[in-house]
Structure 1
């Protein structure tokens, strides 16, 4: 096993890949204290002091110096050229080119400054109902870097050096940075820091004030993240995320922040066609606040990632998703109608079905999340988390499923990886799944070895330990028997962002490294259950929590619980931003709840102007937006009776039916895009930058999108608005509703477009065969009259 001394003595021949693998096992992660937010006074103090902690908090690692005795040299790794400007220059730095475009720098370090650093930190982690706060308490930092040797070792190029503590006469540590090609356009890097209990590694790189950063998984407040610090940890999205609302949400620890995300990814693509991602599962932080430099730090002493070489954003997405996996096309039947989300039992479903039939509404499925029965909680109605059919709520279930199937309509349900120990009167002769899991030791334990109970509103639940292979098989059997065995053809696979940082897992893995991975394992369990019964391409599920390799297993994503508001950080605009940014990071088939989910409709809060509930206008505008997304699905929300629903009256039913028909008319085009996503990783919903990377006007656009390459949609995102100032990229664009042509073949332009209710700005590319096919389908159904 190599030691720090070995780095000074080893010959290149001794640095084998086997030794690199051994080094990877020498992982040090920060120690942490994990707790809930606790009693209100402590939480209040934390909320009140947060601005001061942000202002006076030192950087985790300061900028540092770099020193070297290694002269300038050039190295070749496959088609990559790694250039070291060293001791014979005033400001040493490293830069990388690729043979496809030798004049373009795909990655480079700041001239005359450190690019590798480390620190010793202790983490204070606060978990509250899936929301996560992480304070990095720095004990010491190692910002000053030397480059002592650069050597070629087999397939690797290795940079060896030391890191010096910031204080004079401080401690030092050794590091090794390895590069190796993993394909003609993929360059892997592996950083390992050894010494003095360093448990945080950082990599810095150069950028510029005009470089824009996209990706990072689903990001709901910003698509371009330049100027911000983005923490990559799977967590609850939060309620409000900085938007105005009840301040008690801050006290409860569930408000979230601008960059709280159910499905983040340690990945970016920039406007200068640079791309990098990490392969670690530990939380990471991308600091993009400086104009000329950026950094990524990981809660570990080792960092593994990949630099990509591509000439267009779509090429970079294709290279990235070759590693993460790509989402398969949805079953064909999903494309031909709405997914009707409702609750209330068999009779109510039949009643709503009759009303929808009266409007000739295309229906792909009824999503009946209360199939397991409901309980009343502090936030409204929630389900019994004991994943079996409740025949009191749904008598004659089999007949209902069969009747719907005769009309080509599928039935969907709901599950999550938590279990609640239900009272005996609720079970009524059925299985107690909590008890089964407890008896077989399938539940995550706490530090005392007891079942780790997680608070969720006003009840507690236990999380199934998916690091246990037997627990995974058991849960897959539940999906096969209780869901598929009862005729359901799709389901929401909820949660998975709350794997405990201080949990004791069967695999003995650290909670810090397993927290993000749990979401991937949850998607894998659901996907394997489908495959093992031979239902691939027929049955599907949608999940909200995700991480790097979720696209390999998920059949569809959904964007979680937006507020039923127009607000930027957690309302309708945030759903659009999450859809667009997630697509850049491989979540190619994604969608949001029509109308949002979370309302705070208590009369006193509404009277004070800090509560909110779904309006008819918001519902209609959200229908307009989602008709051009991969899936058209409603959700009643957490307080159904307080909110306008798709079936509130004949007007809402007629409007819902109309937009479901619009959605169905795009079926052929969506199927083509899904096939493309499966082979390339391209998202269905795309930022304009993906097709117009040379147009700087597209870089900051966050309120319109492309469906594929042929349709442009600018949804109405403000209440009372009847027109939208739309940016039309270069070319001629035809307005879907009027047939008028806009745009310029020489350059992009802004155009003010009328947008009354029922006519959001939608355009198609002039002369597009794909658009013409959709147009004919719309005309055939009389939908453009």
Structure 2
């Protein structure tokens, strides 16, 4: 069977499926490309902190499918059914120019159809191709040679194999692995210019360790597998993001300087209050786009922890007359953002209402599932209950938007327990990875219903967790709670890597906390780290600090030098606004992310796929015309980087470079940043040094 785009051959018990000239599946009796599985996942939540997991995915039985035949005649040239061993059908359809493979177990003989609850499928690979995607990656960009489990959870606070990791594991299971992430997604993009997306929220493993095949395992029979082949890397992302959905563009206000992530309330006499911190930032000539006060609902103290109060109304004690203060900020051209998550604390009035109306996830006893978070516990909203949606959207509209908030951190969503009882009866093992998408959607719907999803007054919320579909709802992603450290895999370097990786799963608008949010007991954010984090954030779509309840260590006004450094880069970010706006427009139209892997525009240069030196994965293109190589190691004054073949201008010195490996001076205040001499923004980018 053959059409211009799809060719399927079955000869002598051998199957070959070719789409747009690329061999995707090649099956023989000795090397089957599809297996039916019976899986028995053994996933253990940590009893002290439920979002840390130990995963053992047991494959109890495999049924390799050796023989294939075509159903004759096919429904059409673009809709073909392949039958494997008379027990599974694979429907191959071309839909909107993409290939959709729809597996169906047909149940022969007897009860076989109900025995198989998983699928393994192997796509033909080239030995030299690089692989990207699988969601947000903190440790590695090119995933070739690695097996990637896909399960949303807290990534862990120490992801290297150090003594600290084993201490964290012993304490609350928080050690983490290189692949643990808030935002897994069953999607990969190949440097050979094709993508594969599996439409399933079940646990999956994508294995790229073999030279000639990519082996995908899914803990259910997926709804479909979507593939496209294109002639260039930008065209691949255009097709992928058109299918997955693109984030709505950020409003101009989000780009107009720094978002100050500060806490402390509105007491003008308190030097640690939000009011006092804003006054100091203004006096230091900081260009302020927004105030983000995550403690707007108040605080609660527990043993060894102080947490935000998860009851989504402003604190009359900590933020009296908050709506009036927000109006004052608006008059000054400054926005105000808050915080929410999908939990409710049991001493808040919203908890009692949600409990009584059945809006909380339940345990096996039918009671609200109290999820352990080290020194306290809290229940989680059940988003499989339609009543929960209407109720919680009402809370957002009345108590958040109604109070004047211009946005918020939309936190958590990785916590659905594997033994939960859901209103819908859905399997929690599948719902676990889907929940982050629904959590973003309920927030997005509330904003749309309030008429605040478009224009310059559009509300911006930012998410850390996600999966396929999140880009249709959340306008901004952030890298989650990175550690206040220069260590690879879990600090500044990890945040850089994560922002680049997200572009391969459809996320075009992302950013991170400046210099991290979380710290181990012996850590505090240093001056060097804060200044380097500031430099990196200035060259991302959103520049935002995170004061972490006032216990962060070094911050923007810890001394005069730091304040002036931060103020300078807030002005740099504001100066970049027209350029960033154009990059955001390009993402909306083409799917190219604002933060881009360098190979997307320099496909003929294999250097960018190299795994060594590792420094290559900590540089990126910002839009089409800027190359940014942040300093991500401590006490460093120079940076070695690789420039693709082009004419590049060093922002701070004006010196021109033709490409190749270069080493440049990188003192505080002059991170390695370059722009293309041919850029239509040449004049604007040349003015950054004077911001």
TM over 0.5: yes
Alignment partner of 2:490: what SS? coil
The 5 A counterparts of 1:309-388 are: 309-347=229-267, 348-377=273-302, 380-388=305-313
Q: Does the Cα contact within 8 Å between 1:110 and 1:293 map onto a contact in 2?
A: no
1:501: Cα distance to partner?
A: 2.4
1:110: Cα distance to partner?
A: 6.0
Q: Does the Cα contact within 8 Å between 1:444 and 1:465 map onto a contact in 2?
A: yes
Post-superposition Cα deviations, 1:563-604, rounded to whole Å, max 9, x if no partner, equal 111122111111111100111111110111001011113xxx
In the alignment, structure 1 residue 413 sits paired with structure 2 residue 323: no
Q: Which residue of 1 aligns with 2:497?
A: 577
Which of 648, 673, 678 is residue 767 of structure 1 equivalent to?
Answer: 678
Alignment partner of 1:107: what SS? strand
Q: Which residue of 2 aligns with 1:75?
A: 2
In the alignment, structure 1 residue 725 sits paired with structure 2 residue 612: no
How far apart in 2 are the matches of 1:378 and 1:125? 28
Which of 699, 704, 713 is residue 609 of structure 2 equivalent to?
Answer: 699
TM-score (norm 2): 0.93
How far apart in 2 are the matches of 1:188 and 1:182? 7
In the alignment, structure 1 residue 534 sits paired with structure 2 residue 534: no
In the alignment, structure 1 residue 120 sits paired with structure 2 residue 120: no
Q: Which residue of 1 aligns with 2:367?
A: 450
How far apart in 1 are the matches of 2:354 and 2:72? 53
Alignment partner of 1:145: what SS? coil
How far apart in 1 are the matches of 2:72 and 2:215? 25
Post-superposition Cα deviations, 1:64-113, rounded to whole Å, max 9, x if no partner, equal xxxxxxxxxx422xx4222325218xxx3413131xxx4xx252336651
1:144: Cα distance to partner?
A: 5.1
Q: Does the Cα contact within 8 Å between 2:293 and 2:336 map onto a contact in 1?
A: yes
Q: Which residue of 2 aligns with 1:176?
A: 89
Q: Does the Cα contact within 8 Å between 2:34 and 2:121 map onto a contact in 1?
A: yes
In the alignment, structure 1 residue 142 sits paired with structure 2 residue 63: yes
How far apart in 2 are the matches of 1:120 and 1:97? 30
1:144–1:408: structure 2 CA closer, same or farther, 3 Å change rule? same
1:379: Cα distance to partner?
A: 5.6
Which of 231, 241, 248 is residue 167 of structure 2 equivalent to?
Answer: 248
Give the unaligned 5+ runs of structure 2.
Answer: 268-272, 611-615
How far apart in 2 are the matches of 1:760 and 1:479? 40
In the alignment, structure 1 residue 680 sits paired with structure 2 residue 590: yes
How far apart in 1 are the matches of 2:179 and 2:548? 23
Q: Does the Cα contact within 8 Å between 1:223 and 1:581 map onto a contact in 2?
A: yes
How far apart in 2 are the matches of 1:333 and 1:566? 31
Q: Which residue of 1 aligns with 2:124?
A: 206
Q: Which residue of 1 aligns with 2:540?
A: 629
How far apart in 2 are the matches of 1:769 and 1:331? 22
In the alignment, structure 1 residue 660 sits paired with structure 2 residue 575: no
Give the unaligned 5+ runs of structure 1.
Answer: 1-73, 163-172, 607-611
How far apart in 2 are the matches of 1:511 and 1:642? 36
How far apart in 2 are the matches of 1:200 and 1:614? 45
The 5 A counterparts of 1:1-400 are: 74-76=1-3, 79-84=4-9, 86-87=11-12, 92-98=14-20, 102=21, 105=22, 107-109=24-26, 113-128=31-46, 129-143=50-64, 145-155=66-76, 156-162=79-85, 174-184=87-97, 186-193=98-105, 194=107, 195=112, 197-242=115-160, 244=162, 245-251=164-170, 252-302=172-222, 304-347=224-267, 348-377=273-302, 380-400=305-325
Q: Does the Cα contact within 8 Å between 2:135 and 2:502 map onto a contact in 1?
A: yes
The 5 A counterparts of 1:400-479 are: 400-422=325-347, 432-479=349-396
1:433: Cα distance to partner?
A: 0.3
Alignment partner of 1:486: what SS? coil
State which drifts further: 122-131 or 268-277: 122-131
1:496: Cα distance to partner?
A: 0.8
State which drifts further: 574-583 or 288-297: 288-297
Post-superposition Cα deviations, 1:315-352, rounded to whole Å, max 9, x if no partner, equal 11111111211111112111111110011111311111
How far apart in 2 are the matches of 1:264 and 1:647? 36
In the alignment, structure 1 residue 486 sits paired with structure 2 residue 411: no
Q: Which residue of 1 aligns with 2:467?
A: 547
How far apart in 1 are the matches of 2:101 and 2:17? 14
1:388: Cα distance to partner?
A: 1.2
How far apart in 2 are the matches of 1:151 and 1:382? 63
Alignment partner of 2:281: what SS? helix
Alignment partner of 1:582: what SS? helix
Q: Which residue of 1 aligns with 2:613?
A: none
Q: Does the Cα contact within 8 Å between 1:106 and 1:309 map onto a contact in 2?
A: no
1:774: Cα distance to partner?
A: 3.3
Alignment partner of 1:75: what SS? coil
How far apart in 1 are the matches of 2:678 and 2:304? 51
Q: Which residue of 1 aligns with 2:270?
A: none
1:775: Cα distance to partner?
A: 2.7
Q: Does the Cα contact within 8 Å between 2:65 and 2:84 map onto a contact in 1?
A: no
Q: Which runs of 4+ in 1 moved over 3 A?
A: 148-153, 377-380
Q: Does the Cα contact within 8 Å between 1:321 and 1:681 map onto a contact in 2?
A: yes
How far apart in 1 are the matches of 2:19 and 2:71? 18
1:581–1:152: structure 2 CA closer, same or farther, 3 Å change rule? farther
The higher radius of gyration belongs to 1
- How many pairs are equivalent? 664
Post-superposition Cα deviations, 1:286-309, rounded to whole Å, max 9, x if no partner, equal 011122222111101345111102
Which of 603, 619, 623 is residue 530 of structure 2 equivalent to?
Answer: 619
State which drifts further: 401-410 or 435-444: 401-410
In the alignment, structure 1 residue 755 sits paired with structure 2 residue 666: yes
Q: Does the Cα contact within 8 Å between 2:335 and 2:406 map onto a contact in 1?
A: yes
Q: Does the Cα contact within 8 Å between 2:89 and 2:104 map onto a contact in 1?
A: yes
1:380: Cα distance to partner?
A: 3.9
Q: Which residue of 2 aligns with 1:669?
A: 579
How far apart in 2 are the matches of 1:683 and 1:151? 44
